[in-house]
Structure 1
């Protein structure tokens, strides 16, 4: 798929619903697109330094801007702020003991469940990599047991003896984890992520490179964007939704993003830090997102006087 201002996206990276015009979700996406020109503007959670070409295509006189017909305001990155300081818990007690940038954070989102086979391969790959990790684990999709005990769920979904063998190098978490606070911790050096946009922004604002593990929907396009256009991520050779990713490939990806001697890993880490700096610039006085937000606020004031309503 070719869109002005955007890197071409292969069919494998498109949302499945966009490949079937009879699909209800496809029709819903089309409806949303058709209603954009009826609004007074579009707020986008990105920033000029990250997606300058695409934003220019949307805002400047051209094919895309003629379709949009309304102003586009890039006001990102907007992420949930760190929560209030709480008493230390087991997660941060463990992270505090690790070396700087030495831990891979593994979390596939609130809906990120894997098959039992893939869970085992991911576990074995993490162990094989020899890198420290913190894994927010959800029970495999094929687990049909009745137990609600988290320890039982972990023991069912992981290889026998995994927790004992990795006790010194890894931490498995079965409860909700404060992701923003974790990614901002100095010990985190990489993020194996499903590439949901919120998680992407939370990682980039901290300069943390990504191992892209997209599962569904727009995550596939996000992964392609992060690896092929921005260069802050590495990804699996095939989509994890298409086949089981082997433990050997998992270990290789982890070593690349975390290992100091890997050339590709060095480039990805350097680019992630470069993007982190750009996120700070965007929100400084006179920065691209700061200016865009002020422009939107002024337009809201103007519209409120003329129409009494603002549609965004």
Structure 2
């Protein structure tokens, strides 16, 4: 009992991407509510984007991002960069090591929970007598595909083609793999000095335990395999469905709600490609053509990528009344929860899928060809909750006709009935806050060992 009542000082250090900051903040909030003191470390611009209604026991720790040649001025997150500039952000992130080291020395931290990118942090923490844990915002399926630390750090260099087959260590039935164009695209954002694979491997190897944004109800086999591959505890943290709401877009949201009220239940599909998907103007043209040809009502959130300048001329006028284009950041969770929304055309990001399946929405899978999105596309189709837009394995090309056909299959055609039904049942897992909170509780015994 005495050990359980101990209050700790826990630092959290996420990678500089919105899809990483928010799950880390959810865990920080849980820890703060348990009475622990939490230091949330990031750069000024990223911290400014966070909600302001945080528990008082969370302290935001600003560390100015060092500037490196090749990194655009003022850029502090992946959302502000094209893929080929992300390696410079990783170099700048690595240059935060002395500042993080100094903070840990003077702050009396018991634990630091880190992301994949800070491969140097376990060694710093060990030297200072601080416990370190690795928290993966990626799925257990994606981690299992990457393999054990020995392969990630010391294994033979792998060609892009090697990632297009299911790895030999996967010991359960799986078709999850990359398409060639996806792994080639992702390599554009990898630092040539320290690969993402080495970053993952060193972060995993140096940690006391690995926490994963996952749950046994959806990823039992991958979670089991990870313990075998890592030789250390793997703690599912639950799916962390969104709890924090960011401000912005309130007036526009009222307008969109009015527009949705005129639509039939489950008749509208939502198009959300995330904040960090790079897609060419040519592909945007085909995608827009497919959305138009589907003949179905839709809401398309157009962020920085693709930019409004890439929407084909005349598209908005041709779909007037049937389509709603929203420019910039949108309250995605609120939109997906509206009864008129019946599906989502998604870039296959784990966070967006969690939000969508939490509402029981089937997925029109259009891999963003970045990070693990291709793997997730295969996983969701394998699990029967969506259909993928057919694309060329080598260059990722696709046709507007195939986009339209896939949208209609998922949304209205008889062959999509099973997918729609299966996605609806996923609410019991992805939308079950009580179940997911039970997973978060499993973190406490591991950190109380400090």
Q: Same fold (TM over 0.5)?
A: yes
Residue 408 of structure 2 corresponds to residue 255 of structure 1? yes
Q: 1:257 to 1:134 in 2, by over 3 A?
A: same
| Residues paired across the two proteins, number | 277
Q: 1:296 to 1:11 in 2, by over 3 A?
A: closer
Give matches, 1:1-312, under 5 Å.
1-2=166-167, 3-5=170-172, 7-12=174-179, 15-16=183-184, 24=192, 27-59=195-227, 65=228, 67-81=229-243, 83=245, 86=250, 88-138=253-303, 154=308, 156-215=309-368, 216-228=370-382, 230-238=383-391, 242-259=395-412, 261-263=413-415, 265-280=416-431, 283-284=433-434, 287=435, 289-301=436-448, 303-304=449-450
User: Residue 135 of structure 1: SS of its match in structure 2?
Assistant: strand
Q: 1:251 to 1:184 in 2, by over 3 A?
A: same
Q: 1:107 Cα shift? A: 1.4
Distance 1:4 1:25 in 2: 32
Distance 2:447 2:304 in 1: 46
Q: 1:171 Cα shift? A: 0.5
Distance 2:422 2:194 in 1: 35
Does the 8 Å CA contact 1:83/1:181 hold for their aligned counterparts?
no
Deviates more, 1:175-184 or 1:77-86: 77-86
Deviates more, 1:111-120 or 1:11-20: 11-20
User: Residue 89 of structure 1: SS of its match in structure 2?
Assistant: helix
Distance 1:18 1:250 in 2: 23
Q: 1:236 Cα shift? A: 1.7
Distance 2:326 2:241 in 1: 23
In angstroms, what is the RMSD of aligned CA positions?
A: 2.9
Deviates more, 1:196-205 or 1:2-11: 2-11
Distance 1:115 1:280 in 2: 34
Deviates more, 1:25-34 or 1:202-211: 25-34
Q: 1:28 to 1:158 in 2, by over 3 A?
A: closer
- Greater relative CO, 1 or 2 (CA 8 Å, sep 6+): 1
Distance 1:199 1:25 in 2: 31
Q: List gaps (5 residues or longer) in structure 1.
A: 60-64, 142-152, 305-312
Deviates more, 1:84-93 or 1:161-170: 84-93
Stretches (4+) displaced over 6 A: 17-20
Provide, for residues 12-56 of structure 1, a one-character-per-residue CA deviation record: whole Å limited to 9, x for no partner.
267348989x97377342342244243222211111111111112
Distance 1:238 1:115 in 2: 15
Q: 1:71 to 1:173 in 2, by over 3 A?
A: same
Does the 8 Å CA contact 1:214/1:239 hold for their aligned counterparts?
no
Q: 1:270 to 1:116 in 2, by over 3 A?
A: same
Distance 2:268 2:343 in 1: 7
Q: List gaps (5 residues or longer) in structure 2.
A: 1-165
